[in-house]
Amino acid sequence: MQDVKPIMYQKFLNYMAAENYSKRTIEIVHGTMYGAFERAITLGKIITNPCNGAIIRGKEKTDKIKFINSEDIPLFLTEAYKYGYIYWIFFKVLIETGLRKGEAAALQWTDIDLKSKTISVTKTLDLTAKNKDDLFGDPKTYNSRRTITISNTLANDLHFHKKYQNQNKLALAELYHHDLNLILCRNDGNFMPKSSLFNAFSRILKRAVIPEISIHCLSHTHAVLLLESGATMKYIQERLGHGSAQITADVYAHISKKIEKDTMSKFEDYTKNILS
């Protein structure tokens, strides 16, 4: 701890701001770090607190988190399937897992165990890469490395997808990009360009008459589904690869009308004999 200087700590906070963490989240992290260094001073391990004088930047959370409502998901997936099977499976994986698009694009068959129904997230794929040497990179953060469980439905979808992909491998032979071993890819085994994904997503939204959102909002959609099903913030944090449950709560608390209605309904049921 004694090696941490004020300039180093300020760079750390600036990095969080650059990674689009909200100002509130950075304030929470700063408060935790400040307390830890104050404790170190009390124990005589350091003389001064490097957190003193730090400037906290970050986005003020003025915009609401955007996601696809649960009642609109079936129509979205139907339109995605009509648009193209490879886009349907890509977007369905995002909705069912909460993976970031780069994490999903980087998935190889060695990363998935269909028997145990688990996916290991160990890398990300640069959708703008010009050559294969620059294709794969490390996940966004340390916590982004994780293993998640998938539903029986998605496992069955991926079983079918593997058979579908094997047919493409046989048909294209040496023209297929066998070396990449990608799960979510073009029919020739190569990764899907960023522009193709973005254009497909935008057109599918229009066909489903859903307001324009970014692909990353499918991760938010997954989180909201988890919240609506009763999952804890801690579980969602670990599944999405967030640094802390507080960051998850900061992002997703109070965003679903369905959650609000269900919560009030439970409150009324519990208190009807108490407050009436």
Residue 226 belongs to a domain: no
Residue 105 belongs to a domain: yes
Tell me, yes or no, whether 115 and 195 share the same domain: yes
- Residue scoring higher pLDDT (88 or 30): 88
- Residue scoring higher pLDDT (253 or 44): 44
Q: What is the pLDDT of residues 52-63, one digit of tens each?
A: 988 888 765 545
At residue 257, the pLDDT reads 62
Judged against a pLDDT cut of 80, whether residue 5 lies above it is answered with: yes
- This prediction has a pTM of 0.72
For residues 155-182, give the mean pLDDT: 97
CA separation for the pair 214, 255 (Å, rounded): 17
At residue 76, the pLDDT reads 98
Domain that holds residue 155: 70-221
| Residue 150 backbone class (left: φ over 0; alpha: ψ -120 to 50; beta: rest) | beta
At residue 177, the pLDDT reads 95
For residues 9-27, give the mean pLDDT: 84
* 3-state SS, residue 118: strand
Count of the separate structural domains present in the chain = 2
Tell me, yes or no, whether 34 and 12 share the same domain: yes
Q: What is the CATH number of the domain that holds 160?
A: 1.10.443.10
Tell me, yes or no, whether 104 and 194 share the same domain: yes
Tell me, yes or no, whether 49 and 26 share the same domain: yes
Map tokens 């324009």 to a residue. Answer: 212
Tell me, yes or no, whether 19 and 103 share the same domain: no
End-of-domain residue from the set 62, 89, 109: 62
At residue 141, the pLDDT reads 72
Residue 248 belongs to a domain: no
Residue 121 belongs to a domain: yes
At residue 150, the pLDDT reads 95
- Residue scoring higher pLDDT (110 or 14): 110
Judged against a pLDDT cut of 90, whether residue 167 lies above it is answered with: yes
At residue 2, the pLDDT reads 73
Residue 263 belongs to a domain: no
Tell me, yes or no, whether 176 and 142 share the same domain: yes
Map tokens 């060695």 to a residue. Answer: 110
Tell me, yes or no, whether 55 and 74 share the same domain: no
Residue 163 belongs to a domain: yes
Tell me, yes or no, whether 41 and 5 share the same domain: yes
At residue 256, the pLDDT reads 55
At residue 274, the pLDDT reads 72
| Mean pLDDT of the residues in the chain | 88
Judged against a pLDDT cut of 80, whether residue 39 lies above it is answered with: yes
Residue 45 belongs to a domain: yes
At residue 80, the pLDDT reads 98
Q: What is the CATH number of the domain that holds 21?
A: 1.10.150.130
Residue 129 belongs to a domain: yes
Tell me, yes or no, whether 190 and 79 share the same domain: yes
Judged against a pLDDT cut of 70, whether residue 126 lies above it is answered with: yes
Structural contact between residues 50 and 9, judged by C-beta atoms closer than 8 angstroms = yes
Tell me, yes or no, whether 46 and 103 share the same domain: no
Structural contact between residues 52 and 59, judged by C-beta atoms closer than 8 angstroms = no
End-of-domain residue from the set 62, 80, 109: 62
Residue 197, token pair as written in the block: 């994904």
Tell me, yes or no, whether 117 and 186 share the same domain: yes
Q: What is the pLDDT of residues 76-105, one digit of tens each?
A: 999 999 999 999 999 999 999 999 999 999
- Could you give the angle at which helices 23-42 and 6-18 cross, rounded to 10 degrees? 160
Tell me, yes or no, whether 51 and 99 share the same domain: no
Share of the chain above pLDDT 70, in %: 90
